[in-house]
Copies of this chain bind each other. A is one copy, B any other.
Amino acid sequence: MKYCFGVDLGGTAVKMGVFREDGHLIDKWDIPTDRTNSGKSIPGDIAGSLLEHREKLGIPAGDLLGIGVGVPGQAWPDGTVDAENLGWVRFPLIAGIESASGLRTVADNDANAAAMGEYWQGVGRGFRSLVLVTLGTGVGGGIVLDGLSLPGAHMAGGEIGHVRVEPGETRVCACGGYGCLEQYASATGCARMAREALQNSHEPSALRGIEVLDARAVWDAAKAGDRLALGVADKFCRYLARGLATLAAIVDPELFVLGGGVSGAGELLTRMTAAHYKTLAFQFCKDTPIVTATLGNDAGIYGSAALALRTFRQRLN
């Protein structure tokens, strides 16, 4: 049995896991992300922590295939990484981890890694292709086709949050564009649409005067039957369905997986989204299942471990 490491590098914590090549997670933990000194100590911190756990777990060095790392930004083919919230521009992450660990290392964008995780050991297991759409503060995404993620020529593959779903939008998105999916089908977009709905009507709603009007409050109220909240949730799902229908006519995956915080809304979210999707999708793709992710915050370490396995071994189980 061989082993590999999966790493999910975030802005505040680095999540790490040790996996058997059959996909079994043996141990997981995390360490704080040291952002001082432009994050220069991060590669050494990661390598040190992994080697420490290798020893603790009694895994022979020769049985370790390598390290996969999901990064919050662009992982370039030359091994460097751009990550805005770490202040990295072409930061030599791979070289740093490899020299500190003595292990071969490979990186991918964190959303792509999460998609790969769901594909390998999550809800996508057994499917040949999937698109993961993460509904968090923003909207991210990852595409997996026949076991390979789709990074794109400029590392923009799967940037589903920046597909324009509302050509008439006049508000600007964080990316500089207008009418991006992220402006509606994110936690932020959900809360904004709820504030607008409250301002634009006198309809009674449990959301009026609520202390924290966030996406969770909207979905909880919608589940309780609050009509105004249901209207906001419906709008959210309509935009999301536009994005999924677009994905279907381009990538045509076997499965859509919804992840990120808002996916906690569960069955109401998938049901309402699927209803809109059916009316919008290209004829052959109307029945593509839409499900919620199952690996939660571990998707990233699973996926980066799968990436390491695929890269440093020929066959992925």
Contact = CB atoms under 8 A, between A and B. Distances in A.
Nearest to A130: B153
A252 B143 CA distance: 12
A246 B250 contact: yes
A61 interface: no
Nearest to A281: B177
A165 B163 contact: no
A280 interface: yes
A6 to B, nearest CB: 24
Interface in A240-269: 242, 245-254
A294 interface: no
Nearest to A158: B250
A175 B250 contact: no
Contacts of A62: none
Given A177-B282, A282-B156, A150 B242 contact: no
Interface string A37-62: 00000000000000000000000000
Contacts of A160: 249-250
B250 A285 contact: no
Contact of A159 (B250, B253, B280): B250
A103 interface: no
Contact of A282 (B128, B162, B247): B162
A284 B248 CA distance: 23
Contacts of A74: 284
B128 A284 contact: no
Interface string A141-158: 001010000111111111
Interface in A67-116: 74
Interface centre among A129, A166, A250, A288, by most chain B C-beta atoms within 10 angstroms, is A250
Contact of A153 (B128, B150, B166): B128
A253 B145 contact: no
A250 B247 contact: yes
A170 interface: no
A15 interface: no
A246 B163 contact: yes
Interface string A165-180: 1111000000111000
A249 B176 contact: no
B252 A159 contact: yes
Contacts of A235: none
Nearest to A159: B249
Interface of A: 74, 128-129, 143, 145, 150-160, 162-168, 175-177, 242, 245-254, 280, 282-285, 288
Chain A to chain B: the 8 pairs with minimum beta-carbon distance, closest first: A152-B252, A154-B284, A153-B254, A156-B252, A157-B252, A159-B249, A156-B284, A162-B249
17 contacts: A143-B250, A145-B150, A150-B252, A154-B252, A154-B285, A155-B252, A156-B248, A156-B284, A160-B250, A162-B249, A164-B280, A166-B167, A167-B167, A175-B282, A176-B283, A247-B250, A250-B251
